[in-house]
Structure 1
């Protein structure tokens, strides 16, 4: 008799929604708590909703802050994020509306992310200057 495979890690969206509900928090409060902890004022409840509906998957920066704010082990969140990415994009009606972003914000550091790359530099973000010739 062959042993059954180990259970798969949970998907990140339902895990986040369940933990947020267990704390009695709204998506708005979750976003506000994340902004306060990370010192980044730009996260909205819409992004929390996208994570919960698995339209996007947070990168290492936000996973680290989610672990702190939701009082969960980072490894549990990272495994759930990896499981969600492996499952592929969640489809939504309409062209170009379904995304599971695995890209991380450039140049940010946080509790779930190493500061910089090998060689001591970080990637720059922002727009490129356009030149006319």
Structure 2
């Protein structure tokens, strides 16, 4: 029985890039391989790019297929994804960015900011109506 791979400190994005390039694949080819393996035709190279730039972190479904397609143990990808999520939570809160709780930055109330919009123009704000079935 083989032992699990040693823990790595590499975030998910660079890890995906390294394994994709080791195969000589483009992001488009990687997306095509993932679609073929998973039987889901909706993944684009743009989503692969978002994962590699760490704008998004793939969920368990895509992590499993990434492990199959890139021939990387799913544990390695899952640990890198968890590390990336933790890092994103601690660095996401900043000026003009939504923090962990998704709160908007403070200081946007007062004269000229009705409804949070410059110029005092409130827009909508009511409940959405549901279409009858």
**TM-score category (smaller protein):** 0.5 to 0.7
Structure 2's unaligned 5+ residue stretches are 1-6, 99-128
Structure 1's unaligned 5+ residue stretches are 1-6, 99-128
TM-score, length basis structure 1: 0.63
Higher relative contact order (CA 8 A, sep 6+): 1
Are 2:5 and 1:9 equivalent residues in the alignment? no
Runs of 4+ in structure 1 off by over 2 angstroms are 129-132
Aligned to 2:34: 34
Q: 1:62 and 1:8 mapped to 2: Cα distance?
A: 20
TM-score, length basis structure 2: 0.63
Aligned length: 95
| CA-atom RMSD in angstroms | 2.7
The equivalences for 1:78-117 within 5 A come to 78-88=78-88
1:82-106, CA deviations, whole angstroms, 9 ceiling, x for partnerless residues? 0000001576xxx77x9xxxxxxxx
1:48-69, CA deviations, whole angstroms, 9 ceiling, x for partnerless residues? 0000000000000000000000
